[in-house]
A and B are shown apart, each in its own frame.
Chain A
Amino acid sequence: MPDDQELMKRLKKGDEEALRLLVNRHRQSILNLAYRYVGNQDDAEEVAQDVFVNLYRSASRYTPQGKLTTYMYRIAVNLSLNKIRDRKVGRYLSLHGLSERNTAGNPADETQRPDTILENKELEAVVRAALDTLPAGQRTAVILKRFNGLSYEEIAEVMECSVSAVESRLHRAKLALQKKLKAYAKNE
């Protein structure tokens, strides 16, 4: 099985089979990355599609420095942020509102969410709302660390910043998330 760099060399020459292999190899991680930013399947697929279109178009300018995934993640992060900016996020319930509902102890509220599925959906909305309140840099660092399992050095490459900046962003993000998700962390 040819490695990513080999496939990129072939892609430079316009080999569409190389593109097919790259898409099939990386589509799930790119889809997941985009999904964690944009929050819905349709937008995530659109972002993932554009990531590979960009990859194909920029293949001639691509220079193999580090992993290809780092390069793709950078494109995916930028496109996801653009997508969020375009549609002006804010359609999710605010964390503040949800926290009040969940901690109020109102019996009526309990009947509104009787099953686990609804609880999970709600928890997902709470987590997403918490993530959305983070500055873009902190959010990116959290997503790349928590979900893509990147090292600080790799995150620094994707974000084009220093390792100490990544460390600082993650530290602040964790403190902020801890504060916002406090009510839920107790139940764990």
Chain B
Amino acid sequence: MKCPIKKLSAYMDGELSGETRRAVDFHVSRCADCRMRLKRMRLSWNILDALGEAQDNPYLYTRVRSALMTRREQPRWRERVLLPVTALIALALGLFLGSLMTRHSVPVSTLAENDSYTRELETAAGSMLGDLYMELASQQLVSRGNGK
């Protein structure tokens, strides 16, 4: 039998069964190289023990429970995402509308100018109306005189 190098790991772990295990068993008993390979593999495998263990934490359940409670209390996505986003959109819309209104409104200076202009117009209109009134009144007087 050719050296079953790829089977040595499973052989070491006791994972071979039946005919395969017996064949490897027989081979290893006769092959010094495979015995050496197995020995080296076992040595490095045993060194892994140096990795040690974690310390026990008898309060792990308390931690788990606390984590579950905290996550339960956290606001759902609607409150976490939807509300801030809605508020942001409302704010942006308000700013946009505000800017639109400002753009289309008359500046204060123009208003002031318009105010004096309006006063001039009013004065002009007033004098025109006065003239018209005077004219109508005189016409009426003339017609009365003619009627007599």
Taking Cβ atoms with an 8 Å cutoff, the residues of A that contact B are: 16, 19-20, 23-24, 27-28, 31-32, 34-36, 41, 44-45, 48-50, 52-53, 56, 120, 123-124, 126-128, 131, 142, 145-147, 151-152, 167-168, 170-171, 174-175, 177-178, 180-182, 184-185, 188
Contact = CB atoms under 8 A, between A and B. Distances in A.
A167 B9 contact: yes
Interface SS, B side? helix
Given A19-B64, A23-B64, A185-B40, A31 B54 contact: yes
A20 B56 contact: no
A124 B50 contact: yes
Contact of B54 (A41, A175, A188): A41
Nearest to A171: B9
Contact of A181 (B13, B47, B55): B47
Contacts, number: 111
12 contacts: A31-B55, A49-B64, A50-B67, A53-B67, A123-B50, A124-B51, A128-B51, A142-B48, A147-B51, A151-B15, A174-B44, A178-B43
Interface residues on B, range: 20 to 34
A27 B57 contact: yes
Interface string B24-60: 0000000000000000110111111011111111001
